[in-house]
Amino acid sequence: MTDALERDSRALLEKCDSGSWTPCTEEILLAEGLGRTHWDGTAFRAALREIPESVRAGRLVDVLDPARPSSGGVSVDRTSVALTDDRVRNLDDVLADGGQLPRPWLAIEDAHAHVRGVLDFIDTQLTAGDYLVVEDSLAKRATLREFLRSSPHRYQLDTRYLDLFGENTSSAIDSILRRT
């Protein structure tokens, strides 16, 4: 993968140098930022998560996108999946038009702060067939139990995913839930 990334990057640089491709300002800033960054999976994924829409439509992202799986990321068809990775204080802002999004949803709680409030909010947004995953659930076990008791029979443990690689082998111990 490294060889392919280097080859494609060189080809794109040659097009830039020859004038047959001109990067937008955001692409230049991304390339400069990546050039100053120590290239490990975490830094690479962090940089790619915050790519502006103008860069997503450009040529540079086509060179970088194939490298995402090798750095531990997930490759998705950008036309059919909407990923929201916002650092917001008000969840209502993130899902203001949530009713218009296609289902089923996969909601992942990994906040480590105001967990019950986050779970209560997510609960108002999910419908039957949607999934709720609570990451690092051992540390949140009491809050998760309290939440589930307050909404009996609304969620079901999905052992198909919980125990896919062995019993409770993920950080979402007994907390991959399907809304019923």
CB 141 within 8 A of CB 116: no
pLDDT beyond 90 at 127: yes
d(CA 119, CA 168): 21
Residue ranges and CATH numbers for the domains of the chain are 2-71 (no CATH), 91-179 (3.40.50.150)
For 96, the token pair is 């203001």
d(CA 11, CA 48): 20
Q: What is the average pLDDT across 82-89?
A: 50
Q: Looking at residue 2, what is its pLDDT?
A: 55
Is residue 35 very low, low, confident or very high in pLDDT (cuts 50, 70, 90)? low
Q: Looking at residue 50, what is its pLDDT?
A: 64
From 22-26, 47-51, 59-63, 85-89, the region with the lowest mean pLDDT = 85-89
Is residue 90 very low, low, confident or very high in pLDDT (cuts 50, 70, 90)? low
Is residue 74 very low, low, confident or very high in pLDDT (cuts 50, 70, 90)? very low
Helix (H, G, I), strand (E, B) or coil at 78: coil
Q: What is the average pLDDT across 72-81?
A: 46
What is the overall mean pLDDT for the chain? Answer: 75
Q: Looking at residue 75, what is its pLDDT?
A: 45
